[in-house]
Structure 1
């Protein structure tokens, strides 16, 4: 079975998009997604995105990390698929319903309301999620935020100096986080600008993470470090994040289609 795919990215966070809204595909498994995502023997991506019909929205988006684990939300992928859709859309995800609108070269996404309860992150036990009394090798007192995905946010003097390649997987898999966690290290440069690097659960270091930018911005705002509208600069480029008075997060940034191709399904099954 020859299957078409679309390679897309948001600030270098890259995706293989499979469109099953009209033509049904065989069942997608974590192992199959991981083989497609492999950068040496597959197509290569941070996440595989599967578009499906939805009874409650314009379409459903499933997000599978490079290691085969499925997650609830991906801000960069949402911008990419609504650009592909070519019109404003309501998108069903496991992390909730998202609304997105294409803009010139990108999109704005309503990421919904962040969650802060320890059991909503989730954590293994109750604690203050604005300043958690925990630490790992110099990274201390993170804030925890769920924006469709769980995030731990550390504010540091220089995010580029943090050994995230080694600390990221340790924190991601700590028993404190029963569903694992995305690890964000952020440097607040002004009340309107934050630099950020993210270790994504199931994908590792990526050039950009939309939900990470939202979680980091909201954590900085809750701590009084930033205004309600900030530019979050990731290795792949900037995202504009606004946390409205209604509690909803709006994320605006670019997305691009890189190329299209086909593959033989049985080669990866």
Structure 2
């Protein structure tokens, strides 16, 4: 079976997008997803994105990390899908419905309201998610927030100085986080400007993480009393995040189509 794909990226966070809205695909296993994502023997990507028909929305977006695990949300992929779709739409994800609006070489995406309850993250036991009494090495007292997928945010003096390759996987897989966690380290570099690095659950260090930028902006507005929109600078570039309490988070930034191709399904099955 010959399958078409589109390779895209948002600030260097890259995706292989399969459009199964008309071309029906076989079931996607964790092994197939990780084989396609493999940068040495597959097409190579941080996330595999599959677009499917939806009974309740314009279509459904499914997201598989490079390790093959299916996850709830991906902000950068949402912008890429908005650009690919080419018109405003409300779509279904495992993390809830999100609104897409392509614009100026990228898109704005309304990803929904953040959640702060300990069992919505989820954590293994109850604690104050606004100032968690936990730490790993030099990283202490994070904020936890679910923005469709779970994040902890550590505010530090210098985000570049943190050994995130060492601490990231320790925190991601800590028993405190039964569904694992995305790890963000952030520094304030301006009045409404954050510098951010992310260890992404199931993908590792990444050039950009849209939901990480959203979670960090929410945390900065909550803890540092920033006023949105907040500019979040990641290694791959900048995103603008707007949020007011009680409202949906809106992320705006670029997305790019890299190339298109096709492959034989059995090569990865």
TM-score (normalizing by structure 1): 0.99
Instruction: Give the aligned partner of residue 187 of structure 2.
Output: 187
C-alpha RMSD of matched pairs (Å): 0.8
CA distance in 2, matches of 1:227, 1:195: 16
Distance 2:27 2:245 in 1: 41
Q: 1:241 maps to what in 2?
A: 241
TM-score, normalised to structure 2's length? 0.99
Query: Residue 202 of structure 2 corresponds to which residue in structure 1?
Result: 202
Aligned to 1:62: 62
C-alpha contact (below 8 Å) 1:188/1:225 kept by paired residues: no
Residue 245 of structure 1: CA displacement? 4.8
CA distance in 2, matches of 1:23, 1:148: 28
Conserved? CA contact 1:34–1:67, under 8 Å: yes
In the alignment, structure 1 residue 116 sits paired with structure 2 residue 121 = no
For residue 225 of structure 1, report the CA deviation from its aligned partner.
3.9
Corresponding position: 1:171 with 2:168: no
- 1:107 corresponds in structure 2 to 107
Task: Look up the match of 1:20.
Answer: 20
Counterpart residue number, 2:71: 71
The CA distance in 2 between the partners of 1:68 and 1:9, in whole Å, is 18
CA shift, 1:229, in A, is 1.4
1:4 counterpart SS class: strand
What does the per-residue CA deviation read over 1:174-227, in whole Å, with 9 as the maximum and x for residues that have no partner?
000000000000001123100000000000011000000000000111113421
Rounded Cα–Cα distance in structure 1 between residues aligned with 2:155 and 2:245: 24
Map 1:219-238 → 2, pairs under 5 A:
219-238=219-238
Question: Matched residue of 2:92: which SS?
Answer: strand
Number of equivalent positions? 269
Q: Does the Cα contact within 8 Å between 1:190 and 1:226 map onto a contact in 2?
A: no
Deviation, 1:248, is: 1.2
> How much has 1:101 moved relative to structure 2?
0.2
**Secondary structure at 1:252's aligned position in 2?**
strand
CA contact (8 A) 1:142 1:153 kept: yes
Partner of 1:130: 130
Where do 5+ consecutive residues of structure 2 fail to align?
none
